[in-house]
Amino acid sequence: SQELEQSPQSLIVQEGKNLTINCTSSKTLYGLYWYKQKYGEGLIFLMMLQKGGEEKSHEKITAKLDEKKQQSSLHITASQPSHAGTYLCGADIRGNKLVFGAGTILRVKS
Amino acid sequence: DADVTQTPRNRITKTGKRIMLECSQTKGHDRMYWYRQDPGLGLRLIYYSFDVKDINKGEISDGYSVSRQAQAKFSLSLESAIPNQTALYFCATSDNRGSNSYNSPLHFGNGTRLTVT
């Protein structure tokens, strides 16, 4: 079973549309990270969230941490083909080791 | 040049063979990790090392071994490869000096795609 559940598993959006990816933990979150992965390549660090209510943005990608709900959301505004890839959340929920969700595959149709 | 370099990028080997995947980093980080990625399962931790003298098993260490030759080098070995070890393997580093919590992100290499036939 996954300690970090991501939803949806995959989605296809039309270019220009907004979308949200969720990452939910079964345990308390001690920091959460979002990564992006192009097919078969390494993971690129996007953002790190450490405090409840914290929200960070990078270009058109915004991530927020809701500690009470043990959840983080990643929101992309006006999606572009360059946003396509797999988005993974990672979190320290066991103390001293980072675990990852299974990933959300995003396809953006032109 | 990449900060975290993995070699080889691709490897095909036969069941029963011993193979080694290598990782080197120029980031000066103390912590290094080996993960494998399988479709639908995400990343799973194999081994990790917080400094040269420290080696720890992750959640799926059976069938694997590691060596931390120096601060910058961390290699993963499969003593006798089997087909279900076919996966994408990632090395990562982090700089959490003096802290037990993850207050800095992991930096990943580009991965080694291993196929065991």
Among residues A55, A70, A60, A65, the alpha carbon closest in space to that of A3 is found at: A70
Q: Please report how many Cα atoms fall inside a 13 Å half-sphere around the Cα of residue A96, on the Cβ side.
A: 12
pLDDT, tens digit, 9 for 90 and up, residues A64-105? 998 787 899 999 999 999 999 999 999 877 666 788 999 999
Rounded distance, CA A18 to CA A45, Å?
Answer: 21
Backbone torsions φ then ψ of A82, nearest 5 degrees: -70, -15
Q: Please say if the pLDDT value at position B101 is more than 70.
A: no
Among residues A11, A55, A51, A4, the alpha carbon closest in space to that of A25 is found at: A4
Contacts of B7 in chain A (CB under 8 A): none
Residue with the bigger pLDDT between B26 and B102: it is: B26
Given this model, what pLDDT does residue A1 score?
Answer: 46
A34, A98, A99, best to mutate vs chain B, most B CBs in 10 Å: A98
Given this model, what pLDDT does residue A30 score?
Answer: 74
Q: Please report how many Cα atoms fall inside a 13 Å half-sphere around the Cα of residue B1, on the Cβ side.
A: 8
Q: What is the rounded average pLDDT for all residues in chain A? A: 90
Given this model, what pLDDT does residue A59 score?
Answer: 87
Given this model, what pLDDT does residue A26 score?
Answer: 85
Q: Does A103 touch chain B (CB under 8 A)?
A: yes
pLDDT, tens digit, 9 for 90 and up, residues B10-63? 999 999 999 999 999 999 999 999 999 998 788 999 999 988 999 999 989 999
Mean pLDDT, range A26-51, rounded to an integer: 87
Interface of A with B in 46-85 (CB under 8 A): 48, 50
Given this model, what pLDDT does residue A58 score?
Answer: 87
